[in-house]
Structure 1
Amino acid sequence: MSRFTPPTPRSRRLGRELRKLRDAKGLTLDDAAKLVRCSPSRLSRIESGEIKPRPGDVMELLVAYGHPIDSEPGASLLVLTRDLKESGWWQRLGALSNRYATFIAYEEEAAELYNFEPTLVPGLLQTERYAREVVAVGRETDGEAIQQLVRARLTRQEVLHRKPKPLRLHAIISEAALCVDVGGPEVMRGQLAHLVELAKLPNVTLQVLRFAAGAHLAASGGLQILTFDKNEPALGYLETLAGELFLEAPRDISRLHQVYDHLRTLAVSPAESVKLIKERAKNA
């Protein structure tokens, strides 16, 4: 069995289904590991989605749990296992941190994304020139890393146009993001015009949180919530000075939704937001 980096909703879904079959059989991790001649820790990582098993490995587990490989649920699990063999584009970019690559893997499969940014335009909505200015900060002497990070950011944006189901994005942008001068007036005018165009997409909703809204629950930083089809648990993602954090506990996700709903109530309507962005573009 080989490592699967990073985990994705599909790899976690496979792991959950295999664990259900093991539990239904009344086997502990140690018991099941002995049946298929692997370590309990390796089997645990398969069940958590951290390892991508080969079809043959899943066949062994199905047999050990008493499930034929040519009928359900075995047949569907084998199809899912074969799908996992395809590597994501983000795995070929060495400049990406493991956690950022993991986030991209989840974003690729997400159905919906709720995003609040306190000072910058969200990555999915950035122009190439704006993105280059943002990722270059602190990396001015590493042109290759900058190029890879810009490429990653632009490639990520394809989820907004994928078929048949584009990502549904709801983004709340602080008014500060419209005022912070990134790259100079020309870059900012292009970025603001880009926001206006993206707001026309049926799957993109933009709201601006004005300075006049005052203090709010997300004053300490931005947040993202990803939701998925097929009953996959939602995922929270926070970027901090100490690194990226993933939140999965239902209580944490519920809290993030509460904060996001609070921000959505304080922000101006999508129509008012577009009007505000257009006005700001004229003065940039």
Structure 2
Amino acid sequence: MARFTPATPRSRRLGRELRRLRDAAKLTLEQAGKSVDSSGSRIQRIESGDIKVRPGDVMELLVAYGVAIDSEPGSSLLAMARDLREPGWWQRLDSLSSRYATMIAYEEEASEIFNFEPVLIPGLLQTEAYARAVISVGQETNDEVIAQRVSARMTRQAILSRKDNRPKLDVAISEAALMVEVGGVEVMAEQLDHLAKSAARPNITVRVLRFAAGAHMANHGGFLILGLNEDPPLGYIDTLAGALFLESRNETDRLRLVYDHLKELAMSPAESVSFIKERSHAMA
């Protein structure tokens, strides 16, 4: 089942290291909890990353495990705990929901991203004008909030061009996403041109699912799969009732099966880029 706020990659990494040290010290969860005046269940939640543990708690655990806090790995784990308390840029924006902020935290550390969108261009590949047109639709009319959300979407895209740990982005979009004139003809023409240019980058793959492909396994809507180097993948689905996180292996395997099915039905990346350019030129 989906949890409201999943553990982040950093909290899970810290938890794994603390568990390794507890195992090395041959202590049970209950023994470790008792040594720091806590419970075994809380130690378990720390090790799973569900609790963003404080540096002071980490220090107590290191002492209990016989690990020096002023040498490795103690000093690195304390630094990691301090980093957990530092908010990411997305946490400083009060207009973002907690679930969306958590998704961004995972996205920041993803090594590969798979995204299917049935109606809109994926957020990581949107132009500023297109993003503003999308975000402005609906009940939100506060210009400051809209500007903040547009800025957040643009900032998210920085992961695709960063120097180190650049993720691979693989997107499948329905032909409908190329036809819906979001923001008007000029905005849409600019967006399609940007999409075609983005697809030429080595870490970005774009596939178009033509109407002629017929019914498929994702008729229910779009979804995101975030692949992480050391952690299991995370599924993310934005629904009218709110965002859902899918964490179990069965759920994420199902999403990957559906995505692979869409790839088989879609045009090749080269054919897709040609099709996008044709649509862009038709609107120019």
Alpha-carbon distance in 2 for matches of 1:117, 1:16: 34
Deviations along 1:222-254, one digit per CA (max 9) or x if unpaired, are 11111122x221111111121111111111111
Deviations along 1:159-195, one digit per CA (max 9) or x if unpaired, are 1111123221001111000001111101100100110
Alpha-carbon distance in 2 for matches of 1:41, 1:129: 48
Alpha-carbon distance in 2 for matches of 1:263, 1:40: 44
- 1:206 to partner: Cα distance: 0.5
Matched residue, 1:269: 268
Unaligned runs of 5+ in 1: none
Alpha-carbon distance in 1 for matches of 2:116, 2:178: 14
Matched residue, 2:133: 133
Matched residue, 2:220: 220
**Number of equivalenced pairs:** 278
Matched residue, 2:199: 199
Question: Which secondary structure state, in structure 2, belongs to the residue aligned with residue 215 of structure 1?
Answer: coil
- 1:46 to partner: Cα distance: 2.7
Alpha-carbon distance in 2 for matches of 1:145, 1:44: 39
Matched residue, 1:241: 240
Question: Which secondary structure state, in structure 2, belongs to the residue aligned with residue 69 of structure 1?
Answer: coil
Question: Which secondary structure state, in structure 2, belongs to the residue aligned with residue 13 of structure 1?
Answer: helix
Alpha-carbon distance in 2 for matches of 1:147, 1:51: 32
Matched residue, 1:282: 281
Alpha-carbon distance in 2 for matches of 1:37, 1:237: 37
Alpha-carbon distance in 2 for matches of 1:183, 1:106: 29
- 1:52 to partner: Cα distance: 2.8
Alpha-carbon distance in 2 for matches of 1:283, 1:195: 15
After superposing the two structures, state which structure 1 stretch, 48-57 or 270-279, moved more.
Answer: 48-57
- Give the counterpart letter for 1:84 in structure 2: L
Percent identity of equivalent pairs: 64
Alpha-carbon distance in 2 for matches of 1:173, 1:56: 47
Question: Which secondary structure state, in structure 2, belongs to the residue aligned with residue 51 of structure 1?
Answer: coil
- Give the counterpart letter for 2:15 in structure 1: G
Query: TM-score, normalising length from structure 1?
Result: 0.90
- 1:54 to partner: Cα distance: 3.1
Unaligned runs of 5+ in 2: none
Q: Is the 8 A contact 1:115 1:222 kept in 2?
A: yes
Matched residue, 1:35: 35
Q: Is the 8 A contact 1:139 1:146 kept in 2?
A: no
State how 1:103-182 maps to structure 2 within 5 Å: 103-182=103-182
- 1:255 to partner: Cα distance: 1.2
Matched residue, 1:9: 9
Question: Which secondary structure state, in structure 1, belongs to the residue aligned with residue 236 of structure 2?
Answer: strand
- 1:53 to partner: Cα distance: 2.6
- Give the counterpart letter for 1:27 in structure 2: T
- Give the counterpart letter for 1:180 in structure 2: V
Q: Is the 8 A contact 1:6 1:101 kept in 2?
A: no
Alpha-carbon distance in 1 for matches of 2:19, 2:34: 15
After superposing the two structures, state which structure 1 stretch, 190-199 or 17-26, moved more.
Answer: 17-26
Alpha-carbon distance in 2 for matches of 1:265, 1:155: 32
Is 1:52 aligned with 2:52? yes
- 1:81 to partner: Cα distance: 2.2
Alpha-carbon distance in 1 for matches of 2:6, 2:255: 24
Alpha-carbon distance in 2 for matches of 1:63, 1:72: 13
Matched residue, 2:186: 186
- Give the counterpart letter for 1:159 in structure 2: I
Deviations along 1:72-93, one digit per CA (max 9) or x if unpaired, are 5434423422333432100110
